[in-house]
Amino acid sequence: MAWNEWNQPKPAPAPRAADLVAHQDDLGAVGHEAHVLHGALLKHADMAGHEPNSTTTCAPPRAATALTRHHFAMGAALTTTTTLWTSQLRALLQACAHISNHLDHTKASHARDDAKIRTTIRGIATPEVPVSRLSTYFK
């Protein structure tokens, strides 16, 4: 690139989209909804005829077993569907639990950090504090 090309005016950068902002109340609401969804799934979702909290391996329902025994292809298909449903349901339950637990932890962690900062600032709130001392609190 020649100097005269480099020296030409450059187009203005495209405006940036707003950064993602999440407030504590928003995080708490998302975590709460994930917890509620987790509870509702445990209560209402059918885990292949097992108790919702069961961690046993998914066994095919009686209908699939009976159909397979009578050589109907639908038996194997029903077993596959049940296995996939249970697998996906467990993944969704884990995701809900992870979201809820992570946001609860994040909220508590930020609250502790805020309390520590408030305490620190109150301890150095005199006008005579030199800048060099202030910088030790913000590393």
Q: How far apart are CA 139 and CA 120, in angstroms?
A: 13
Question: 37 or 57, which is more confident?
Answer: 37
Tokens read off for 52: 């919702």
Q: What is the CA radius of gyration of the chain?
A: 29
- Residues 113 and 124: their CA atoms lie apart, in Å, by 17
Question: Could you read off the pLDDT of 54-68 as tens digits, one per residue?
Answer: 555 455 678 888 999
Token duo for residue 78:
């029903």
Instruction: Enter the tokens of residue 47.
Output: 């885990």
Rounded to two decimals, the pTM is 0.54
Per residue in 10-35, pLDDT (tens digit) is 777 666 666 666 677 777 788 889 99
Among 45, 82, 84, CA closest to 61? 82
For the chain, the average pLDDT equals 76
Higher pLDDT, 15 or 46: 46
